Every structure is written in C-alpha cells, then in structure tokens.
C-alpha cells in the first residue's frame, strides 16, 4: 500500500454501503479519480466535512489494487455555501457537470481545475453567474482542445469575412461562399466577444461584461456546440438552456 498526496475538489459523491461514500475528485496531481471515503457518513467522522461536492481539500490517499481511499484530508477552500442559494446551486452544478463530462477518469488537466476553482470563487464573490458560465464554456473548450476556429473560414481559410456563419459540423466560422444549409449566421460582435474572452487571462476575467442579448446568443451557440462535442446526453445542458 502506498500513500499519495493531492489537492482536489470533490465533483460528485455517491453513498456507498452503510456509512461510506465514493467521491469523484478532480486533483491537480493525479487527475480525475474516484476515491472511497470510508465511514464519512458516521457522526463525528473526520472525513465528513471533506466528503461533499464543492469542497477543495488537500488529500492523503492510500492506493491499493488501483483503488484510492482517503486516509486524511484538510479543507483548503469550501464553496459549499453556494448550495444555500437555489440559483447558485444550479450554476455551480452546471460547471461541475461540464468538468465531469469533459474530463475522463485518470485524465489530468490542471487548467480545467484552475478554471473551476476560479469560477466558483467568482460566483462566491457575487459575480454575474450567466457571464461566469459563458466564460467557463469558452475556456473549457480551449483547455480541452475543442475550441472552434473563429479567426478564419474553417474551409477556405479566408480571414476577412464581411458576413460570418458558424458551422457546428466543421467546428468553426465559414464565409458566405463556403456556407452550407445548416450553418447559422453570427455577428462580428459575437465573434469578437468570444475572442476577447479566449485571450483574457483567468485572473482578469472579472472585467468581462456581456449584455443580456449577446448572452442569449452566446449561450445557444455554446450549449449546442458543447452537446455536439461531448456526444452524450448531458441533461443539465438542455435544462440549463431554458433557465433565465
């Protein structure tokens, strides 16, 4: 048996046996893992506080036969307060769900972990939740390698476009000549906002403002595209599209 130290945030918890849980944790050091939190549902268990979604902790795991068990843990930052508010619960679940769907078990992605922590922190500090979600969608696509081509026609590579269409099938913008039937028209303003968000450092994202009209356009575009990328039925995407 060996000990493994890692910092991570709990994405999901599932009750296991009488008094334990199996947690899905996204860690910096060993990627996304599942770990057994033994007896954490017992009263006074030292693991009860760290064994809930939205808690970021420093863990010590034991690993035996490919199964991680939490040996000890201490909370670094808790975002659990977000669950005290119905809207913020929905927004934070959405972010968690995206991370859980984009990152496979054993997969490591420190950028996505940083993005999640940063976004939850901004939500906690009262940032506009819809804006946080739009930024999150764009950044997670970048950090996982699925960001569409927005700077030139994805087919003929022409870069100065007087009319812009978005092709979900080809993952990028197309010019009027290359446009196909299913491609949708998007404004230059939309493309510019996406590129600004894409280029902005995580630490400076609080300066980004998105008005209501543009938010609706971005939200539809991103959710439709993410559904295609993930190629699985992520129920929260459909649910989320219709709130607000």
Residue numbers at the binding site for Zn ion (CB under 5 A): 153, 155-156, 175, 178
- Give the shortest CB-177-to-Zn ion separation in angstroms: 5
Q: Are 37 and 96 in contact (CB under 8 A)?
A: no
- Give the shortest CB-157-to-Zn ion separation in angstroms: 7
- Give the shortest CB-176-to-Zn ion separation in angstroms: 8
Q: How far apart are CA 182 and CA 168, in angstroms?
A: 8
Q: Which of 106, 92, 16 is nearest to 56 (CA)?
A: 92
Residue 175 or residue 197: which is nearer to Zn ion going by CB? 175
- What is the spatial order of strands in the sheet that 164-167 belongs to? 172-174, 164-167, 184-186
- Give the shortest CB-220-to-Zn ion separation in angstroms: 23
- Give the shortest CB-70-to-Zn ion separation in angstroms: 53
Residue 156 or residue 228: which is nearer to Zn ion going by CB? 156
Q: What is the 3-state secondary structure (H, E, C) of 31-61?
A: EEEEEEECCCCCCCCCCCCCCCCCEEEEEEE
Looking at 49-196, which runs of residues are DSSP E strands? 55-64, 67-78, 164-167, 172-174, 184-186
Q: Are 75 and 56 in contact (CB under 8 A)?
A: yes
- Give the shortest CB-173-to-Zn ion separation in angstroms: 9
Residue 40 or residue 175: which is nearer to Zn ion going by CB? 175
Residue 178 or residue 226: which is nearer to Zn ion going by CB? 178
Q: Are 209 and 182 in contact (CB under 8 A)?
A: no
Q: How far apart are CA 208 and CA 61, in angstroms?
A: 39
Residue 60 or residue 156: which is nearer to Zn ion going by CB? 156
Residue 133 or residue 175: which is nearer to Zn ion going by CB? 175
């Amino acid at each position: 048996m060996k000990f493994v130290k890692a910092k991570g945030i709990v994405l999901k918890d599932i009750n296991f046996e009488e008094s334990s849980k199996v947690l899905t944790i996204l860690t910096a050091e060993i990627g996304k893992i599942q770990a057994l939190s033994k007896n954490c549902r017992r009263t006074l268990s030292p693991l009860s506080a760290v064994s809930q979604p939205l808690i970021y902790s420093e863990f010590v795991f034991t690993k035996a036969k490919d199964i991680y068990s939490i040996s000890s843990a201490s909370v670094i930052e808790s975002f659990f307060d977000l669950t005290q508010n119905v809207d913020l619960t929905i927004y934070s679940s959405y972010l968690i769900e995206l991370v859980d769907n984009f990152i496979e078990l054993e997969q490591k992605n420190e950028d996505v972990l940083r993005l999640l922590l940063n976004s939850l922190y901004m939500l906690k500090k009262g940032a506009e939740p819809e804006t946080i979600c739009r930024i999150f969608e764009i950044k997670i696509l970048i950090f996982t390698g699925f960001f569409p081509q927005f700077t030139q026609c994805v087919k003929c590579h022409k870069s100065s476009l007087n009319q812009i269409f978005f092709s979900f099938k080809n993952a990028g913008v197309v010019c009027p000549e290359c446009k196909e039937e299913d491609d949708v028209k998007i404004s230059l303003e939309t493309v510019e906002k996406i590129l600004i968000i894409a280029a902005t450092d995580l630490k400076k994202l609080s300066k980004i403002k998105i008005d209501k009209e543009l938010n609706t356009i971005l939200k539809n575009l991103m959710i439709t595209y993410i559904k295609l990328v993930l190629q699985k039925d992520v129920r929260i995407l459909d649910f989320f599209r219709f709130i607000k």
